[in-house]
Structures are given as structure tokens and as C-alpha cells.
Amino acid sequence: MQSERGTAGSADSRVITPVGNFVDRDDWATEGMRCSIERALEMVGTRSAMILLRETFLGIRRFDELTQRTGLSDAIAAKRLKALVEDGLLVQRPYREPGARTRHEYVLTDRGRSVFPIMVALMTWGDGLGEGSGLVDLFHADCGEPVESVLRCAAGHEVSLSETHARQKEKS
């Protein structure tokens, strides 16, 4: 895979290559279809959603700890957590401290855990923005090497942007 890194100001002609009926996007049959990126961003496309998910990936589950670690107001955190539960990324699990009322903690679901590669990619991208590396290093528990987000095809080949083609999906 050739390197495709650039700086913020560099222009580059390497993009995804449209093929098939994707070439003339004005002629698409899109009735009943939605962009997957738009659907995903409706669930996790806010700063508050992503930093709440970051904290749940790091094992934080309780509302007061989530607001403390994220700096979000109670109202914003409650609204976003409710949406993350409704979208199936988190579930509420009741718990009760002795002498206190029942409260809920927030636990990642399989759908929530599937966001992990996106979090790793976003963290890696953020580390490279030139403002120093982040606060956390992720590494493989078995060998100690850094965790990376790598784009591969289903056959296992690493794929760069310019090696990627796009076609319209068939309606299912």
C-alpha cells in the first residue's frame, strides 16, 4: 500500500473511483435508500455522543462518573445517553448502593462495541493533527504492540484511498 498522507493544506487527486452505475450519480435509483454514513452520524455524530462512548469503552458506567469525566452538563449527558440507549449502543443496567435508591449504569451492547474500530481510527487521526499525541496509548494485551485501525478488503489486502472503487449497492 502506498503512503497517502498529506498535510492540511495539500491538495491530492487520490480519491475513491466510481464504477458502474455509480459513475453518473445523477441517474441513481435511490428511492428507499439512505446513506450509511448519514445513518451512523445520526447515532454518534455529536461530540457528546463520542466522548460518552469513549468513557464507556474505558469502563466508566455510572452517570455521575460519565458527567465528571466528560465535562458534560447533566442535561446534555442525560439526553445523549437516552439517545444512545434508544439507538441500541448502550443498555441501562440497574444497580443499588446500600441505603440508596436504585440507579442505572450504562453498558456497551454489541452494536456499541462495533464502534470500537471507529474510535481507534478517530483517536489515531486526532493524534496526528500536530498538537502532540493524545493522552492514551492503546496496545495489544498479548504482545504489547500499538493497536491500529487498518482498512482491508474482505480478502485481507490493505487498501488505500486510490485503490478503492465504489458502486451503487443493489436494492435488497
CATH number at residue 112: 1.10.10.10
When divided into structural domains, the chain yields a total of 1
- If phi over 0 gives left and psi between -120 and 50 gives alpha, with beta otherwise, what is residue 86? alpha
93 within domain boundaries: yes
117 within domain boundaries: yes
20 within domain boundaries: no
Count of Cβ atoms closer than 10 Å to residue 77 Cβ: 21
Look-up: residue for cell 482491508? Answer: 152
CA 6 centroid distance within chain: 22
pLDDT in tens, the chain (172 residues): 444 455 555 556 788 888 887 778 777 666 667 788 999 999 999 999 999 999 999 999 999 999 999 999 999 999 999 999 999 999 999 999 999 999 999 999 999 999 999 999 999 999 888 777 778 899 999 999 999 999 999 999 999 999 999 988 776 6
Contact 109, 89 (CB under 8 A): yes
109 within domain boundaries: yes
161 within domain boundaries: yes
86 within domain boundaries: yes
The answer for residues whose C-beta is within 8 angstroms of residue 30's C-beta and 6 or more apart is none
Contact 61, 76 (CB under 8 A): no
Range of the domain at 138: 35-166
- pTM of the prediction? 0.83
